[in-house]
Amino acid sequence: MAQKPRIARVEAVVNIASGTASPEAAERMSELLAEHGLSARVHAVQGEEVGRSLRAAIDAAPDLVAVLAGDGTARAAAEMAGPDGPLIAPLAGGTMNMLPYAIYGNGPWDEALATILETGEERGLGGGCVDGRSFLVAAILGAPALWAPAREAMRAGRISLALGRMRRAWTRAFSGRLRYALDGGPRGKAEALAFMCPIASRVMADDDQALEAAIIDPQGLAQAARIGLSAMVADWRNDPSVTSLTCRTAGVWAAGRIPAVLDGEPARLPSTARIEWRPKVARILAPPAQPAPAA
């Protein structure tokens, strides 16, 4: 059984320009840590100060580094801390909050922090790496990645921007196929591929040591349109054109550069990319593990 780690000193980094974080959130962070009797230093920063504050917080070697920011900042904190550094608590302060929601659920960040300070357990956080860049939740390569900016604009209520991005995505989507090989196996072809870490997968346990690989291969324009719509309003993994497997490594090739989304952030990859599973990127403070349901 996992033991509750000893938490006495806390460094907190609040990106006040990120999503739902704000100077008021930094004040709430200070209050909450004080309520739990912790020695804490809260950095309320933005812009280029964020990276420097993360580095200073981790180098101070506290028992816990709490990060209230977006997925990109959470990923940077995990990479800086590494598997032997201080515990990380990536809290939901961004726009999409893929990593915090995967770990703590969709509740408010202060409730999640209070819970883990009282009953949290240490857990190793695994992740993937593609073209030298980490992802801790999911990486999407190929056509569906083009719909991510439109979906983010839609969630933010920016309808005209979302429509413009949808038009751009549609003109570029499904114009080239990817070639892939999972774990050195035979090559296949698909319109797109998605790699999900166990913490985000619906078919894997959190402690599984592999990635879920979703092969997205619509047959014809109608199925392509359906997946494009699913990328906007639903979960494209439910589409019958998607097949899920598991792997630890993968190779992906294309005729040109590959559009991608890494933990919700758009990226452009070279025409050849290698994806790898990393069993322990960092240590996180997570809620107690739930017992497996009875058979």
Q: Where are the alpha helices (DSSP H) in 9-48?
A: 23-35
Which tokens hold the place of 18?
Answer: 């990120």
pLDDT of residue 219: 52
According to the model, what pLDDT value does residue 131 have? 86
**pTM for this predicted structure:** 0.78
pLDDT tens for each residue of 152-179 = 555 556 666 545 555 555 455 545 689 9
The tokens 């300070």 sit on which residue?
117
Q: What is the pLDDT of residue 179?
A: 94
Tell me which amino acid residue 159 is: I
Distance CA 44, CA 26 (A): 6
Instruction: Characterize the bridge pairing of strands 258-262 and 265-269.
Output: antiparallel
Tokens 């909050």: give the residue: 97
CA gap 241, 247 in Å, rounded:
19
- pLDDT recorded at residue 230: 45
Query: With a cut of 70, which residues of the chain have pLDDT below it?
Result: 1-3, 143-176, 203, 206, 218-241, 290-295
The answer to whether the beta carbons of residues 53 and 11 sit under 8 Å apart is no
**What domains, with CATH codes, occur in the chain?**
9-119 (3.40.50.10330), 133-280 (2.60.200.40)
**DSSP state for residue 49 in the 8-state scheme:** H
Which H or E run contains 116?
A: helix 109-119
